[in-house]
Structure 1
Amino acid sequence: MTATDYDLFVIGGGSGGVRAARIAAGYGAKVALAEEDRYGGTCVIRGCVPKKLFVYASRFGDEFEDARGFGWTAGDVSFDWATLKANKDREILRISQVYEGNLKAKGVTTLDTRAVIDGAGAVKLADGRRVTARTILIATGGRPSRYGDIPGAAHIITSNEAFELEKLPRRILVCGGGYIAVEFASIFAGLGVETTLIHRRDKVLRGFDEDLRDALMEALAQRGIKLVMNEALTGVARDGDSFHVALRGGGSLETDLVLSAIGREPATHGLGLETAGVRTGAKGEIIVDSFSQTTAPGIFAVGDVTDRVNLTPVAIREGHAFADSVFGNKRVQVDHSQVPTAVFTTPELATVGLSEEAARALGHTLDIYKARFRPLRNTVSGRAERMLMKLVVDRDTDRVLGCHVLGPDAAEIVQMAAVALQLGARKADFDATVALHPSVAEELVTMREKWVPAS
């Protein structure tokens, strides 16, 4: 075998790439990893972590308000964006340094530079050096999609810039209907910003259970977020310190900030994939098989750059499975069929398994169990917000196919429900489980009445 500089060269220091590098090094491979920005990737730098910190901040207003119903008297309260931003930056720096430190502790060579594919078995660094490797892993993640070619598009920011705002706007227009759009709409509304969400479809969160979609839209509207559905931007013009936004339907809006959150795309531009015969799809995603192997021998890809299931834990699982398969003498495939996910709106929602609509499309005959109620906390605080819990059950086998929750701590509840679904739990198993009372989660094991649609 021809000698190479490394056994494995990883391009991208996000969750998937870092996990793969660490595990491969643990198997004795000589590993290098190149990252042109900061270690941690989208999740740590401009995704999951800073977003969740902003979500926490946006919910304290509710806490202060609800406290009065429980006898607390709160004095004057105020919010300082600069303090939140500085503390967020400090935490991100800490986590990024942990990522880098963990790599070095495993003996991985870290290169703080851009790297691109330079033919079979080689990468080129930004300083011109050419490095060879027996195996190359691409883990460059994704980037925000831009709104499109409309007049004034340069005025529109993405989620990347939203994390770095110097000050809060008084009004914001959020464009999109996926995770990022509804989460940022909730964050800004919770921080007191007059928030409008515009989406080209009739509902947000395409692909989620319809009951969840409807209940979330109702809750967002109750929280003062203006929902403009079946609409799109056709132009943005600056008007002093604000913007005039023209709409496809002929109307217009005035706002102080326009945020595009219409999705993300694989970060493959300029990676030199064509030099090694790495094939990509219509959106630029790297095409891989079930073992993350690309169309080029010796080149693999994991995470959002492959556009399979674009979630951090999935990228980590894919990176680990790759290292096990290639360097650990264990052929491991990742099962993408039972992945829990959460949307950190307020109220938050979480889901695992099949939606009612997807289950019916697959031919299942279903029993549906639903509970809609005000949590005990809300009855005393006076908050009108209601919780939704739903189980999708195959009538013939009694197996629970999907679990869907909207309300406080939905993500924490569904994480544990995901274990049950992974084990193939039946509705009878849920019924036989003793309820933990009083809790909202107990509804999952006390629901007995099948839902019957109105005729």
Structure 2
Amino acid sequence: MVIVGGGPGGYEAALVARQLGARVHVIERQGMGGSAVLTDVVPSKTLIATAEWMTVTEQAGELGIGAEGEDGALRADMDVVDRRVMRLAQKQSKDIRTRLEREGVQIVEGTGRIEPTIHPDGSRLVRATTHDGAEEAFPADVVLLATGATPRVLPTARPDGERILTWAQMYNLTAIPEHLVVVGSGVTGAEFAGAYNALGAQVTLVSSRDRVLPGEDEHAAELIEAVFRRRGMTVLPRSRAAGVRRTGDGVVVELTDGRTVAGSHCLVAVGGVPATDGLGLAAAGVETTSAGHIVVDRVSRTAALGVYAAGDCTGVLPLASVAAMQGRIAMWHALGDAVAPLNLGIVPANIFTAPEIATIGVTQRQIDAGEVDGVITRLPLSRNPRAKMLAISEGFIKLFSDRASGTVIGGVVVAPRAAELIHSITIAVTQRITVDQLANVFTIYPSLTGSIAEAARTLHRAGEVRRA
């Protein structure tokens, strides 16, 4: 097996392949873990975890907690924060490399590309260019492409790494921006906007849509936008950026309607592009979309013999968990092990705002549109006794069940640590558990999970009405 890319899709595939007895080479140009570990998921969530400490003190007065000092305010030292962020990213990368080497995976530092020739025995050749300019050739029975994605760059907002930044460059800052303008209100934009707002920066969020997080659950997005505004963030809906220019020690964001927004820094968070250039895809018979994503089926196969792909370079779903599963599925399939095709309907996702938004399965939008015959319940967290003790006043639990069978088919959690709370709902969706079964599982009292069981009980009443 030759794997091009050492991110979650690549290194998880390598571990599976070694477990099943294959010889494995991983070609990685940046460092083990790829951008997910070094410049994206790990560092951004570490930064957000620091910012979260700033938000948990919002209700300190209500809890009877006070701080000494002139104004009693918490402050973040961005130099210390960023050093910790990058130290943890490097440590995670090192841990991954150590694990792979211990399992017998051969790591090649460089870039890889597929040669077009298919040998009579069906094998292919992958050529690696190492960091010192040398070339090595690796015959492969199976090739896995897991090269990820890079930040999308607007021609009118070229990043300079100092004032105009992509999400991969946000860790170069040694001080909290005086005024951060965030262009893009999707997941990345919302997460960074919320984090820097909590860390003390003035933040303006430029959204081309009616609200932030336009692709997410409407109630969750509305709640997060309200929280952003309550914390002092300026949100500009229906405002599209035409360009960003540097003005010495600041930036000016020009909007298409003629307005301008001046700030000290600008984060351009308008999505990513697949890192597929230079891989030799067309000559090797690998089909790509007009956007450059590698086309794969549900077991990660491409159109080319012996070539699989996983992760953000496929455009299937830009989550590290999905990349990892695609990589595992590719190896299970290629090596003849038991395998189930990728099922996106059971993939949980989390947005690391404060509070977090976690989702799984069917959406309310699908139910409202009549695409799914489901029943919806929503409980505010403010009525939960544990939430009251923790002074949590914002958030909710939402459950969806199948109208005919009562099976749990989806859910939304908006709460601190929603990424953890969604797990029980994910199990229910994956294992096709009914609302009655979920309701009858014991929960700790008091606990936030008690609201999940309570939501399930309310759907039992809906079920009784349906059967009447």
Provide the TM-score with structure 2 as the length reference.
0.89
Determine the structure 1 residue equivalent to 2:105.
108
Partners of 1:153 and 1:236 within 8 A in 2: no
Q: Which amino acid aligns with 1:172?
A: L
Note closer, same or farther for the CA distance 1:254–1:336 as it changes in structure 2 (3 Å cut). Answer: same
Residue deviations 1:393-427 (CA, integer Å, cap 9, x gap) = 22222122211111212111102210111111222
Counterparts in 2 of 1:139-154, with a 5 A limit?
139-146=146-153, 148-150=154-156
Determine the structure 1 residue equivalent to 2:126.
123
Q: Which amino acid aligns with 2:76?
A: F
Q: 1:39 aligns with which of 29, 32, 44?
A: 32
Q: For residue 110 of structure 2, give the secondary structure of its aligned residue in structure 1.
A: coil
Partners of 2:386 and 2:447 within 8 A in 1: no
Distance in 1 of aligned mates of 2:441 and 2:157? 58
The answer on 1:168 being equivalent to 2:176 is yes
Alpha-carbon distance, 1:362 to partner: 5.4
Determine the structure 2 residue equivalent to 1:4.
none
Q: How many residue pairs get matched?
A: 443
Alpha-carbon distance, 1:387 to partner: 1.4
Q: 2:422 aligns with which of 414, 420, 426?
A: 414
The answer on 1:431 being equivalent to 2:428 is no
Q: Which amino acid aligns with 1:32?
A: H
Q: 1:369 aligns with which of 357, 374, 377?
A: 377
Distance in 1 of aligned mates of 2:45 and 2:296? 31
Counterparts in 2 of 1:108-257, with a 5 A limit?
108-120=105-117, 121-126=124-129, 127-146=134-153, 148-150=154-156, 156-257=164-265
Distance in 2 of aligned mates of 1:110 and 1:367? 50
Counterparts in 2 of 1:72-91, with a 5 A limit?
72-76=65-69, 77-91=74-88
Q: Which amino acid aligns with 2:173?
A: L
Note closer, same or farther for the CA distance 1:81–1:393 as it changes in structure 2 (3 Å cut). Answer: same
Q: Which amino acid aligns with 2:147?
A: T
Q: 2:92 aligns with which of 88, 91, 95?
A: 95
Distance in 2 of aligned mates of 1:258 and 1:137? 36
Note closer, same or farther for the CA distance 1:68–1:211 as it changes in structure 2 (3 Å cut). Answer: closer
Residue deviations 1:242-263 (CA, integer Å, cap 9, x gap) = 1122211221111011111111
Alpha-carbon distance, 1:190 to partner: 0.7
Partners of 2:148 and 2:274 within 8 A in 1: yes
- Structure 2 spans left out of the alignment, 5+ residues: 118-123, 463-468
Distance in 1 of aligned mates of 2:339 and 2:387? 50
Determine the structure 2 residue equivalent to 1:353.
361
Q: Which amino acid aligns with 1:130?
A: A
Alpha-carbon distance, 1:68 to partner: 3.7
Partners of 2:9 and 2:325 within 8 A in 1: yes
Distance in 2 of aligned mates of 1:341 and 1:48? 13
Residue deviations 1:244-288 (CA, integer Å, cap 9, x gap) = 222112211110111111111211012111221111012111011
Distance in 2 of aligned mates of 1:264 and 1:170? 26
Partners of 1:399 and 1:426 within 8 A in 2: yes
Partners of 1:15 and 1:312 within 8 A in 2: yes
Distance in 2 of aligned mates of 1:85 and 1:244? 25
Distance in 1 of aligned mates of 2:329 and 2:448? 36
Note closer, same or farther for the CA distance 1:152–1:441 as it changes in structure 2 (3 Å cut). Answer: same
Distance in 2 of aligned mates of 1:311 and 1:336? 11
Note closer, same or farther for the CA distance 1:260–1:366 as it changes in structure 2 (3 Å cut). Answer: same
The answer on 1:269 being equivalent to 2:277 is yes
Alpha-carbon distance, 1:153 to partner: 6.3
Partners of 2:157 and 2:164 within 8 A in 1: no
- Range with greater deviation from structure 2 (369-378 or 239-248): 369-378
Alpha-carbon distance, 1:434 to partner: 3.8
Determine the structure 2 residue equivalent to 1:56.
49
Partners of 2:184 and 2:207 within 8 A in 1: yes
Counterparts in 2 of 1:397-412, with a 5 A limit?
397-412=405-420
Alpha-carbon distance, 1:380 to partner: 6.8
Alpha-carbon distance, 1:230 to partner: 1.0
Partners of 1:435 and 1:446 within 8 A in 2: no
Distance in 1 of aligned mates of 2:169 and 2:45? 16
Q: Which amino acid aligns with 1:122?
A: L
Note closer, same or farther for the CA distance 1:380–1:104 as it changes in structure 2 (3 Å cut). Answer: closer
Alpha-carbon distance, 1:430 to partner: 3.0
Distance in 1 of aligned mates of 2:357 and 2:291? 28
Q: Which amino acid aligns with 2:145?
A: I
- Range with greater deviation from structure 2 (237-246 or 67-76): 67-76
The answer on 1:24 being equivalent to 2:31 is no
Residue deviations 1:330-382 (CA, integer Å, cap 9, x gap) = 34422222111100001111011111112344533332211124365775787
Provide the TM-score with structure 1 as the length reference.
0.91
Determine the structure 2 residue equivalent to 1:5.
none
Note closer, same or farther for the CA distance 1:360–1:160 as it changes in structure 2 (3 Å cut). Answer: same
Residue deviations 1:48-102 (CA, integer Å, cap 9, x gap) = 2111211111122233443343333323443211111112222111111111111
Note closer, same or farther for the CA distance 1:130–1:362 as it changes in structure 2 (3 Å cut). Answer: farther
Distance in 1 of aligned mates of 2:423 and 2:9? 21
Alpha-carbon distance, 1:167 to partner: 2.5
Partners of 2:75 and 2:200 within 8 A in 1: no
Residue deviations 1:182-219 (CA, integer Å, cap 9, x gap) = 10011100100001111111122233222222222222
The answer on 1:67 being equivalent to 2:70 is no
Distance in 1 of aligned mates of 2:447 and 2:387? 13
Q: Which amino acid aligns with 1:283?
A: A
Determine the structure 1 residue equivalent to 2:465.
none
Residue deviations 1:85-142 (CA, integer Å, cap 9, x gap) = 1122221111111111111111111111111122241122222333321211101011
Q: For residue 112 of structure 1, give the secondary structure of its aligned residue in structure 2.
A: strand
Distance in 1 of aligned mates of 2:8 and 2:259? 43
Note closer, same or farther for the CA distance 1:93–1:317 as it changes in structure 2 (3 Å cut). Answer: same
Partners of 1:27 and 1:328 within 8 A in 2: no
